[in-house]
Structure 1
């Protein structure tokens, strides 16, 4: 049994990469609603994240890198806010609404804590919470059709999904202010120029390029990668002193691993390393 593929995950299409089974390709799979992040998809996402946490440490079904993309013509149109429009949120207290949104953000942003690199292949629209999900990934590649926006204030909403932090991490505070205040749409070329994405590709090449990058990331030492991701979390170290302290502790941990011995031997012998995560 595959601990990931055997999960029941409505609204998600989850597959192992055909060239490297340690790479997991996840499609948000509700194209009729432009992959809106509704209740059913959110529940499936939580089960997926829990499954990933159980596999990244090694053993059967190990995962070392993840690709996230959208089925059809959109990455994700964002959160399903129909419950606001139909009045089901009316009469709820501010505290109850706050708790509901906090749980939603925690559910989707849980991907940041699984301990493996995540590549977003942004095809078409990534709007609001959909943009927030892309920003939660470690690397973003965009297709030529990509359209990224955070139109929260145009809907009467304060921004959410951590975008007040993650957007500034990606593009800097000044550009983040402009994008959040205006909610305007950014195309593929501007996304790369801003730093929202590292590269843009024709739509028909996007997923292949993202998967190839994930295969490369999957070859890196798992312990070193996991510690690096942990150190970069929440915007990274606050200052140089904290960076040095974190690096000293993390390097000491990796110096004691068999993977370091293997990495040095592979470099001497000019071959690809075979890391085991130990």
Structure 2
């Protein structure tokens, strides 16, 4: 039984991961990192079409590293732990199926870095966030300097990281980091609603679209188009593509099987 992360499947194809250390602002302890990786081990072998990542409680999504635990570590142990956070974040980013971060409260440092690895971010109206590491005399070390710049642009990323500025979810939406802001009591429902919308589409098409976007983004347009074509060709021989055509012709909802 996992103690710091919960996981359940809803509506057959949607996985919901919840950080479960509300008493410690859902911060990244070594135990939480181990539990989260165990959840990923499980869901990677399941037939999912979307994943929602959120947290228990009404105050914090994830406050980043567990600073009380970190204060007991040597320099080498700190470096090792930051590496573990970075590997977890990268593992979330590399998942084949789309991920939705439902930010229910404070998301600072590594907590915000986790959301940057997700495909879509939504937040509650009470959420506060920021990459505040420079105020602690360090830098974002789990991908924050790289992913934030790719999401909101280099100039804005420099502004927020170098000032260690904290901002709310509405400002997050203004800068293009957050897609939707909803009341806290509607957040999980909204996350599931988006997940269901994704899950209703052709699973192989969705995976290939995500792959084309992720792999093509950092290349020039010519290379990106080649990557897109390669991903597109993988959708042609599928049963789902033929099912979509039949459903359109018969004026009914398609029944995709991910084949």
Helix, strand or coil: the match of 1:54? coil
Q: How does 1:3-22 map to 2 (within 5 A)?
A: 8-17=1-10, 20-22=11-13
- For 2:25, the equivalent position in structure 1 comes to 34
Partners in 1 of 2:78 and 2:63 — Cα distance?
21
Q: How does 1:219-238 map to 2 (within 5 A)?
A: 219-233=200-214, 236-238=217-219
**1:152-191 per-position Cα deviation (integer Å, ceiling 9, x unaligned):** 0100112121111111122111111101001111111111
Cα pair distance change 1:15/1:161, threshold 3 Å: same
Partners in 2 of 1:202 and 1:179 — Cα distance?
25
Partners in 1 of 2:108 and 2:221 — Cα distance?
35
Q: How does 1:1-278 map to 2 (within 5 A)?
A: 8-17=1-10, 20-55=11-46, 62-72=47-57, 73-86=59-72, 88-90=73-75, 92=76, 98-233=79-214, 236-278=217-259
Partners in 2 of 1:49 and 1:108 — Cα distance?
11
Partners in 2 of 1:100 and 1:206 — Cα distance?
30
Cα pair distance change 1:231/1:237, threshold 3 Å: farther
Partners in 1 of 2:19 and 2:4 — Cα distance?
6
Number of equivalences: 258
Could you state the TM-score of these two structures normalised by the residue count of structure 1?
Answer: 0.88
- The alpha carbon displacement at 1:16 in A equals 2.1
- The alpha carbon displacement at 1:31 in A equals 0.3
- For 1:5, the equivalent position in structure 2 comes to none
Partners in 1 of 2:139 and 2:216 — Cα distance?
21
Helix, strand or coil: the match of 1:227? helix
Q: RMSD of the TM alignment (CA)?
A: 1.7
Could you state the TM-score of these two structures normalised by the residue count of structure 2?
Answer: 0.94
Structure 2 residues not aligned, in runs of 5+: none
